[in-house]
Amino acid sequence: MARYRLVIPVLRSPHAPEHTARGVMIGLLWAMTPLVGIQMMLVLLTWIVASRLFSWNFSLVLGLAWTWVTNAVTILPFYYGYYVTGQVLLGHWDDLTGFDAFATLWTSTFAADIGFWEAVRTYVVNIVAGWGLPLLVGSLPWVVVSAATGYWISLRISRRRVALRAARKADADRRRTERAPAAPTD
């Protein structure tokens, strides 16, 4: 499913390789932020601002698709990775793995016996106060590395695909001219 949704559009993109790679880069840039739920909207806003104000285009479809790397199923490992990375970058060496504090915050945030509005309030307080700075700081290296890596890999794949298409077309044209009957000479 991931290949069908993420890789095939890169391979079949009719745009220039740079246009395709920028779409992957923007999608991964927003996907690796701890803003699950609004990432697709942020890609759309980035596309509007970039194309209208700066004449900098990228594949909106690919940008939207690549935000799906992080979703409701994968967010817990990503948040934990961001949290631990943030703890390290902030110099909180006392609980390097951060799992005990992370698990406590997670459990208290999603306790089943509280009402909806209390759950929303608890979620906001725990996310902002307990996880906010470590999540934000910890996500930054992931954002930079994944966006740069995604750009580089998709650019290589797209360029290779364009070269392969050109070689196939040249080969087909060569075969067609070889099979064509020679013009009669008088």
Domain boundaries, the chain: 2-179
> Residues 117-128: pLDDT tens digits?
776 777 677 666
DSSP 181: P
DSSP letters, 65-105, are HHGGGS-TTTHHHHHHHHHHHHHHHTT--TTSS-HHHHHHH
Tokens of 78: 């990503």
At 62, list the tokens: 């690919």
Give the 3-state secondary structure of residue 38.
coil
What pTM was computed for the model? 0.73
**CB proximity list for 19: less than 8 A, separation 6 or greater:** 13, 57, 58, 59
153-166 pLDDT, tens digit each: 999 988 988 888 88
Query: Which amino acid is it at 136?
Result: L
pLDDT at 4 over 70: no
Q: Can you give the pLDDT at residue 5?
A: 58
How high does pLDDT run on average in the chain? 82
pLDDT tens digits, 56-103: 889 888 898 889 888 878 888 898 899 889 888 988 777 666 677 667
